[in-house]
């Protein structure tokens, strides 16, 4: 019979933390490479009518409404 609960001193023993340098470099990488929806949200936040539309319908719909139908000449 084994105890189903882990000893408090060994609770985080199975998890390995990143080394400090590796954790910092991963964070910098995440800051540089943004997801497309994050970029779209920032673009929408800079344009006031888009931001107002986003409060009512969401940022995805607002970006699509204001920037999704761009036509090139």
Cα 46 to Cα 31: distance, rounded to the nearest angstrom: 19
Q: Is residue 57 part of a domain?
A: yes
Q: Is residue 50 part of a domain?
A: yes
pLDDT in tens, 1-46: 566 777 777 776 666 665 677 777 878 887 788 888 898 999 999 9
Q: Is residue 9 part of a domain?
A: no
Domain that holds residue 36: 18-68
pLDDT of res. 66: 93
Q: Is residue 6 part of a domain?
A: no
Q: Is residue 8 part of a domain?
A: no
Longest pairwise C-alpha distance within the chain: 75
Q: Is residue 35 part of a domain?
A: yes
Task: Please state the pTM of the whole predicted model.
Answer: 0.53
Q: Is residue 61 part of a domain?
A: yes
Q: Is residue 3 part of a domain?
A: no
């Amino acid at each position: 019979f084994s105890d189903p609960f882990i000893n408090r001193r060994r609770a985080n023993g199975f998890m390995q933390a990143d080394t400090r340098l590796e954790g910092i470099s991963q964070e910098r990488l995440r800051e540089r490479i943004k997801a497309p929806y994050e970029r779209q949200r920032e673009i929408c936040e800079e344009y006031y009518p888009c931001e107002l539309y986003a409060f009512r319908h969401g940022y995805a719909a607002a970006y699509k409404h204001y920037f999704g139908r761009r036509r090139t000449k």
